[in-house]
Amino acid sequence: MLIPASQESITAAALNRLFTHAQTGLPEVESVKATPLAGGNGYLAQSYRLELQWRSGDGPRTLVAKLPLQARLDTMTLDAVRMYRREAMFHRVVADNVAIPTARAYVAEIDAETSAATMVFEDLGALESFGDDEYISAERGQRALEHLASLHAHYWNSPKLAGMEWLADPAETGVDQVNTERFATSWPRMVASGAYPLSGIQLRIGELLSRQLAGLYEALHSGPFSLIHADMHQENVFFDGLEPVFIDWQLAERANPAKDVAKLTGSWLEPGTIHRQQPALLRGYHDALNRRGITCYSLDALTRNVHLGTCHYMAIMLFLDDRDFAAMAANMEARTDFTSNRILAACDREEVLAAVESL
């Protein structure tokens, strides 16, 4: 089966072959106009809005196609290529079997030669979306956490995870060792550059992690485990009122579910309010787990793991790359690096420092 590889190759005939092969049940396409989505050109894929005319029957007026970037396939690392397959497998295996609100995938096809995936989704354009320069309310955060608790509870320490070989598993890939080595090198460079003013708490956390990041990973990998989204920032969720719809599952992992909670609360909330709002959000998530039968995980353990997860994101978002720290600081000062600003601010709390000191 020939999978469309570019905007020009998205034709009615190509879609009809794709829809028939995927057994979508959609009627025959008469014509299609494909338009690149604004901001839809990512590292791995280009997204297009498809305006459709159908020969007979009622089909959606629009769909969204997510195609692999062919120019990058030859140079991508194996881990990057696996992200294509991971998202397709999530929609094949998980989305229809777990009550997690996500975009309906009409097509989730994997190319046998390249492992690249072509996806065709329902169009969520009518729903409310957010950029990383916007805050999401605590009320919406609570609803999102309740739905994530449903996903996490379904796979909580489940033997099913062992059979999901397509999931990323940071405990087994060696990425933690690489992160630890990079952070130990980049942290002192960051401090010596004087490029960004860090508080006493942030400095202490960074100093501890430069020696003990491996201990943080060991703590997170001690469990519990579940299937997690692993990239829970603002741009990966749409809202219909208070109800979330999650997208972009390329980074899905078998990992500690506190990482999802940490990324959500650390990047969605306004930094000046996190100390006030996060405890209530964690209690709500913990209660949602309890209602779904997960009663062996204490609120104290969850809170500690969320604080450690927040420090994990601080490390990988700010300091792991060989960055121009002055340019990074300028971006943060100008508030163009919004997520990094928020994660760093989320770490600037005594309770987060205490979690790191307990390692």
Tens digit of each residue's pLDDT (9 = 90 or more) over 253-305? 999 999 999 999 999 998 888 889 999 999 999 999 999 999 999 999 999 99
How big is the chain by its Cα radius of gyration, in Å? 21
Q: What is the pLDDT of residue 75?
A: 47
Specify the pTM: 0.91
- Phi then psi dihedrals of residue 314, to 5 deg: -60, -45
The DSSP call for residue 2 is P
Rounded distance, CA 347 to CA 179, Å? 18
Residue range 224-254, pLDDT digits in tens: 999 999 999 999 999 999 999 999 999 999 9
Contact predicate 18/3, CB 8 Å: yes
Rounded distance, CA 41 to CA 67, Å? 10
Give the distance from CA 15 to its chain's centroid: 28
SS3 78: helix
Tokens of 144: 């999102």
What sign does the dihedral 332-338-340-343 (CA atoms) show?
Answer: positive
Q: What is the pLDDT of residue 359?
A: 94
The DSSP call for residue 4 is P
In the CATH scheme, what architecture does the domain 12-122 have? 2-Layer Sandwich (3.30)
Q: What is the pLDDT of residue 280?
A: 97
Name residues whose C-beta falls within 8 Å of residue 331's C-beta, 6 or more positions apart in sequence: 337, 340
- Which pLDDT tens digits describe the chain residue by residue (359 residues)? 567 777 888 999 999 999 999 999 999 999 999 999 876 555 567 899 999 999 987 899 999 999 877 655 444 455 666 788 899 999 999 998 898 999 999 999 887 777 678 899 999 999 999 988 899 999 999 999 999 999 999 999 999 999 999 998 887 878 888 888 888 888 888 888 777 788 999 999 999 999 999 999 999 999 999 999 999 999 999 999 999 999 999 999 999 999 999 999 999 998 888 889 999 999 999 999 999 999 999 999 999 999 999 999 988 876 655 556 556 555 555 554 577 788 888 999 999 999 999 99
Rounded distance, CA 217 to CA 337, Å? 25
SS3 333: helix
Q: What is the pLDDT of residue 84?
A: 81
Rounded distance, CA 315 to CA 321, Å? 10
State the CB neighbour count (10 A cutoff) for residue 131.
9
The DSSP call for residue 91 is I
Strands 253-255 and 237-240, how do they pair? unpaired
- Phi then psi dihedrals of residue 355, to 5 deg: -65, -40
CATH class of 128-357: alpha beta
Q: Where are the domains of the chain?
A: 12-122, 128-357
Q: What is the pLDDT of residue 316?
A: 84
